[in-house]
Homo-oligomer: A and B are copies of this chain.
Amino acid sequence: MSDTTPQPAPRIDIAAVGDALLGTWKTERLASRELAADPRLHTIPGQPMAEHRERAFGQLGILVEHGAIQRAFPRALGGGDNHGGNIAAFQELVLADPSLQIKSGVQWGLFGAAILHLGTAAHHERWLPDVMSLQLPGAFAMTEIGHGSDVASIGTTASYDPETEEFEIHTPFAGAWKEFLGNAALHGQAAVVFAQLITRGVNHGVHAFFVPIRTPDGELLPGVGSEDDGVKGGLNGIDNGRLHFDHVRIPRTNLLNRYGDVAADGTYSSGIESPGRRFFTMIGTLVQGRVSLDGSAARAMSAALAIAVRYGNERRQFPGASSRETVLLDYGQHQRRLIPRIAQTYAMTFADEKLLTVFDEVFSDTRDTDENREDLETLAAALKPLSTWAALETLQEAREACGGAGFIGKNRLTGLRADLDIYATFEGDNNVLLQLVGKRLLTDYSAQFKNADRAALAKAVASQLGDRVSRFGLRQLGQSIADLGQVARSVESVRSPEAQRALLTDRVQTMVSEIALALRDATKDVPKSNQRAKAIANENAFNAQQHKLIEAARAHGELLQWEAFTEAIERIADPGSRQVLTWLRDLFGLGLIETHAAWYLVQGRLSGHRAESITAYIDRLITRLRPHAQDLVDAFGLTPELLRAEIATGIEAERQQEAHDYVEAQRAAGAWPIHEKELRAQQKSAAKRASA
């Protein structure tokens, strides 16, 4: 793209790399992108909220017409039983308008999916056709004002009355009001309401109920109240609002009873005995939201970088030593800002593909085991926080890299960022999700040492480290390289994928084992007999480790991304693409190690010299990748209809050329005025000559 940076061999095969990025569900993704290119589905920057809401609702109809939302539903009802393809297609819709995307997610991915996964055949037949056709728009009423992340503690109750064979849905205080629900303020005619199921004086925990809330004309039904959340930081095409229920009665059969049922006489039954496991099984069926956001975040990052790299390759600023002004992406700082983000986007895209594959296996029943479900949840909880945060950072970096132009609505970066902001806390607050991952890592870790005492544990940690040292040569990695004399050679051993994997793995394992030890140490003196004191000590100990545990979970997610990137390269045949992507993967892996260098240094895993040589090698990788930046973002395959940013249309290159041509023409015509600086310099040297 930039005339100053011809691409040397090797070059990537853009089509082949593009295919790798599109992955298994290429067909569905391309179909969805074709739809996302339709101007009827595009964001209109600054459209007032009321109009945007109506537009988004209308856009859902267009999705239905084009068969874009049916994939996940049963074939018997006109669906495709294609769970992976459904999410893949959904992810691409972020390129049309995140409001449209998330509103469709509310209707079909939450409201519809809850009926599908928590309901049974009768529910499917009764409601899903209307849900799919949008005849029945609905809300997903899980979150409450007082309870977001802690769903188990929600305050809404569903009390069974055997006299009338009805449940009474009730929100007994303001904190129990359902909150932030898409489709609640305006369009929803029903809601899947999560409530504590109470029958015969026993609370059987959270279950889901189908509750009509409005007439088709939009009148609220008796006992149902709604409040509008009004303007939000983004996603203003969605009519988020609150719902509250004052003793609203629904038939017993409106309980979505796949995992728990109430007989006419009020007897509760469930195929899952443990109330805890039952709750997590129900909640687990809704993991698709997290999977959806993970890939959507990667797509938004792709768009941000496609815009910023194109602009950075055309825009010039400050005169260079060569006669023309310097292209932005030729500046060291500009490269440091954008090129590692390209590497991260590749890693996240490949990691999401892996996540989606596990998701599809579980939901297509091909590998639906408890263990796979648990792995799926952990994987989603590890990846979604990292990608949604990275998307916000990348959109911001791209916005700033485009200067004032990045702030203009029609260049899309600020709008996407505003819309994606909420991705960091919905479908699970990112910190809470990472804590879940951390707890899983701790559980897996301590499962190995059940009943072991501290000494045994510590010994195991040491021997585990020993294993890794011998297996991956970490001991050598840690050695001082001062005697090698040359920075260039010193990085060789860290460059290998084995070394990168070893360093990244080691960090996760060491952090987890240190936290496990700290937790054990902090509570070991409290007698087990004093349950309350033990509970408080455990809580305090855990709280003191919370930050570290979340960091360990982040390290785990980063390792998963690195592994997915590495596996993806192995599937690519073209040697040029493999070479360039290997550099990009190294930039990602070594970038992580550089980011966490303090940890590696403190733990004695890297010497100071080695850490410095990693930074120097990263600088070299960035320089090496710079000529490929445009190819790498072109491989995202985002057509002008999908990018729709004025500054990414070539307009800046045209303007630069026009300015250049003007100055050259003026110069040629002798009409270009001499600058006072130059004149003074000429006069000075003339005076010098005269006096000489």
Q: Footprint of B on A, CB under 8 Å?
A: 45-46, 48-49, 143, 145-150, 153, 155, 172-176, 179-180, 198, 201-205, 229-234, 236, 268, 275-276, 316-322, 325, 330-333, 336, 392, 396, 399-400, 403-404, 406-410, 413-415, 417-418, 421-422, 424-426, 429-431, 435, 532, 535-536, 538-539, 543-547, 550, 594, 597-598, 601-604, 608, 611-612, 619, 655-656, 658-659, 662, 673-677, 679-680
**Nearest chain B CB to A146's CB is how many angstroms away?**
6
Which residues of chain B are near A430, meaning CB under 8 Å?
Answer: 400
| Nearest opposing residue in chain B for A619, CB measure | B544
Which residues of chain B are near A677, meaning CB under 8 Å?
Answer: 205, 275-276
- Besides A45-B231, A202-B679, 8 other A-B contacts (C-beta < 8 A): A149-B403, A150-B319, A180-B407, A203-B676, A230-B410, A231-B409, A275-B676, A321-B536
Which residues of chain B are near A602, meaning CB under 8 Å?
Answer: 597, 601, 608, 611-612
- Cα distance, A680 to B277, chains bound together (Å): 14
User: Contacts A146-B655, A546-B331, A604-B608; is A233 near B413 (CB within 8 Å)?
Assistant: yes
18 sampled A-B residue pairs with Cβ under 8 A = A146-B659, A173-B659, A201-B673, A202-B674, A203-B676, A204-B676, A205-B676, A232-B409, A233-B407, A233-B414, A234-B414, A276-B677, A321-B536, A332-B547, A336-B547, A392-B396, A404-B422, A407-B425
Which residues of chain B are near A535, meaning CB under 8 Å?
Answer: 321
- Cα distance, A48 to B605, chains bound together (Å): 56
- A318's partner among B149, B268, B331, B612 (CB-CB below 8 A) is B149
Q: Tell whether, in the assembled complex, residue A674 and residue B203 are in contact, meaning their CB atoms are under 8 Å apart.
A: yes
User: Contacts A48-B46, A546-B332; is A403 near B275 (CB within 8 Å)?
Assistant: no
Q: Tell whether, in the assembled complex, residue A317 and residue B421 are in contact, meaning their CB atoms are under 8 Å apart.
A: no
Max count, chain B CB within 10 A of own CB: residue among A275, A400, A538: A400
Q: Tell whether, in the assembled complex, residue A659 and residue B175 are in contact, meaning their CB atoms are under 8 Å apart.
A: yes
- Cα distance, A655 to B424, chains bound together (Å): 25
Q: Tell whether, in the assembled complex, residue B404 and residue A201 are in contact, meaning their CB atoms are under 8 Å apart.
A: no
Q: Tell whether, in the assembled complex, residue B148 and residue A404 are in contact, meaning their CB atoms are under 8 Å apart.
A: yes
Which residues of chain B are near A608, meaning CB under 8 Å?
Answer: 601-604
Q: Tell whether, in the assembled complex, residue B409 and residue A424 are in contact, meaning their CB atoms are under 8 Å apart.
A: no
- Cα distance, A482 to B229, chains bound together (Å): 56
- A232's partner among B322, B414, B597 (CB-CB below 8 A) is B414
Q: Tell whether, in the assembled complex, residue A173 and residue B230 are in contact, meaning their CB atoms are under 8 Å apart.
A: no
Q: Tell whether, in the assembled complex, residue B418 and residue A414 are in contact, meaning their CB atoms are under 8 Å apart.
A: yes
Max count, chain B CB within 10 A of own CB: residue among A150, A330, A406, A659: A659
**Nearest chain B CB to A622's CB is how many angstroms away?**
9
**Nearest chain B CB to A244's CB is how many angstroms away?**
13
**Nearest chain B CB to A543's CB is how many angstroms away?**
5
User: Contacts A180-B404, A422-B404; is A321 near B205 (CB within 8 Å)?
Assistant: no
**Nearest chain B CB to A496's CB is how many angstroms away?**
22
- Cα distance, A539 to B204, chains bound together (Å): 71
Which residues of chain B are near A204, meaning CB under 8 Å?
Answer: 676
- Cα distance, A319 to B149, chains bound together (Å): 12
- Cα distance, A131 to B336, chains bound together (Å): 44
- Cα distance, A332 to B547, chains bound together (Å): 6
- Cα distance, A410 to B175, chains bound together (Å): 18
**Nearest chain B CB to A301's CB is how many angstroms away?**
17
**Nearest chain B CB to A503's CB is how many angstroms away?**
14
Which residues of chain B are near A413, meaning CB under 8 Å?
Answer: 233
Q: Tell whether, in the assembled complex, residue A424 and residue B404 are in contact, meaning their CB atoms are under 8 Å apart.
A: no
- A415's partner among B233, B331, B414, B655 (CB-CB below 8 A) is B233
User: Contacts A236-B46, A429-B403, A536-B321; is A655 near B408 (CB within 8 Å)?
Assistant: no
